[in-house]
Structure 1
Amino acid sequence: GRGLPSLAEVVDGAEVIPYAVLCQTVRQNDSVLAKAVRGTLAVPDWRSFCEQITSLYNDVKRKVPTSAGKNADYIPELASFDPELYSIAVVTVDGQHLSLGEADSDFPIESCSKPFLYALACEDLGGEAVHKHVGREPSGVAFNAFTLNKDNVPHNACINSGAMMTASLFHAHLPLADRFKKLTSGFADLAGRQKVRFNQAVYLSEKNTAHRNFALAYFMKRFNAFPEHVNFLEAVDFYFQSCSIDVTCDKLAAMASTFANNGVSPLSGATVMQPRVVKDSLQLMYSCGLYDYSGEFAVRVGLPAKSGVSGCIYMVLPGLLGLAVWSPPLDSVGNSVRGIEFCRRFAEEFNCALLDLIFDTTLAGSHATEKSADEDNVEDLPKPSRNNSKLLQKLGSRRLDAAERARVRSLSARK
């Protein structure tokens, strides 16, 4: 016969669902509702989680004025954005979705494209081939600096020279038009088959003011950094195109959620890239994703993230969710002032940095025995988490009160 109905067919129009039918259907489905019935959602208390995110969003909007930063003005199209625009989107590995503010408004992806371009290049060629021409280390200098590593290749794929290099490698045998189609198709797959669009005005604005990027390309050419037979000026042009793709906060969060879900899009269910590629991309983001603030972000937030000068930041909680923030005013190193503050408060609120998944600092801080100053404080140090999955599962219901947050900060200071 036809077999069991889908979960949607069971629920649609039904006032009463027979218990046996519901149980059988849930066992054979992997939808959000099926996981909710089974109690296996990555964020089990979704309503509480949404309330907390909304509270954080409003708090940052109220306490961080747009005057604390300034729109990027070296790319004229970016200078024209309303500085009051502010949006947040979250997509979990189960496909649950939350958006606040202007989350469906288009903006150019800019440097947020770099880890995606790197990942797609690694998926195409393999990581070893890519890393013959681009390194893995933080550069320690500005993102557009004239510097190469000891092997005369860019330090990493998150600085301009490194992104131009990965652009030169991506389906290099194809005509430029076909390469661009491959790129936008890859971005769309990461976003759960949501289409992305090319922003011609931003592209022309980028190209007409890109004297330093052209100089960087010639600098790399001088040291034979590009592969043989590569048209390096075409690679620069392709890099500009990759930065001029319009996304929304919703789409960017969906792309981040594919990274969070180990290369499988939570929205489409399609495998977009291999887990090893995702791992390499997240490690790159963790060490190099926030320009000259990368090390500070790793300490204060502790999650893989990438920023762009259009004011967007996306962050990945592996195995849990992707999050995107957009607010155009930037700080002195080129990161969104509201975006950075939201990410910082998010990490503090949920205590979800990568090392918190190994060392449960909250439990150590809440239950450690108080000792005098001259006693050994070994017991106060964070303990390795015995069950990381349970720690992740607390995200929807775990909210540190002010005393707990102060306790964690105190422990960190003593270390």
Structure 2
Amino acid sequence: MVSVQTRQSNELFEYELEELKQLTETAQGEVVATLTQKRDRHDPRTIIGKGKLDELKHLVEELEPTTVIFEQELSPRNMRNIQEVIDCKIIDRIQLILDIFAMRASSKEGKMQVSLAQLNYLLPRLTGQGVNMSRLGAGIGTRGPGETQLETDRRHINKQITEIKKELAETEKHRRRSRIKRQESHVFQIGLIGYTNAGKSTLLNRLTDAETYEENLLFATLDPLTRKMTFPNQFQATLTDTVGFVQNLPTQLVHAFKSTLEESKGVDLLLHVVDSSQEFVGQQEETVMNLIDELEMEEIPIVTVYNKKDLMHPDFQPKLHPNIVISALNPEDIERLKEFLWQEIKKMLVPYQVTVSLLDGGFKLNQIQQETFVESLELNEKTNEYIVSGFAKENSKWLGEQGLDDED
């Protein structure tokens, strides 16, 4: 691993290096050496200075690694210049993340989005890929479309990009239809967001019967997953898990995964999961909040769940409100979370009261119970009607039937 420290503090620099190491391990790589340098700014030619480049050359000759990974983004020019000196495959953090995404994508759409991001990134870097091309046998930086597309010309890659974009547009139409259908069903929707490895999938599994992939790895979840969640009071909602955010998320991925992240755009509430065991919690929170702004989702109410309280960092202080501190592995905490969530959701719902005739039978009552939260149900024996009181989403058809103004 190679990284240059410019203006960041020593602690932050160490944190970024540790994250690069975690990313490498997630990509099934093993870090054999780390080379760092302090500079006022990156060398415009090779990121690291001439002396450090020589040092890197000797390290590569001595250790014979398969790959050298730079923390900083390498321009096509940087890549060319480094490659002239270093006889080894060179990739940067962005290629590493793209590679992990290629490993993790399981749905057709996820794979297409990764391919699109990889092709867009590799297109300007086609020249100067000599050594990389000859070393494409296996390992980090070779998954996804890398091997085949790189050997073809730009026209072929551009054609690929156009075809993928067309297919993704069709998939997005289908996704939009499903989203509209969910919104019309008046079901309350919750979106899980947060920094990668904060515990979103674990939480989804504990709150629903999802059985999603749970692992202490970065980007364990890639494809969005929506599951039904039932509260102890029988109120029902949907819970959608999304890809984890990471600092300096490659622009290519923000664009390529916009439709995946947009699964959370139509939700009624965002559940922001934060790993309280991390030293740089504030940094991770900021990354997520910035991406929420970028995706124009800042209007959606947010509840913060500080997870991993059993491993909590000694300096941890919750900053975002409303919040709750839990361990997703503790069943009692999950019950506390459900109750806390219900209290927050209740603030966003509208109280209603409707009467249902006995002649309508159980069907209408069943519908009301599925689409709203019923707090009380009384039978008026004089009129042979049920009086139903509860809470519903603002667009619920049952609000129109109550014969009352919403404000009443």
TM-score by length of 1: 0.29
TM-score by length of 2: 0.29
Q: Which has the higher strand share?
A: 2
Q: Indicate the structure (1 or 2) with the bigger Cα radius of gyration.
A: 2
- More contact order relative to length (CA 8 Å, sep ≥ 6): 1
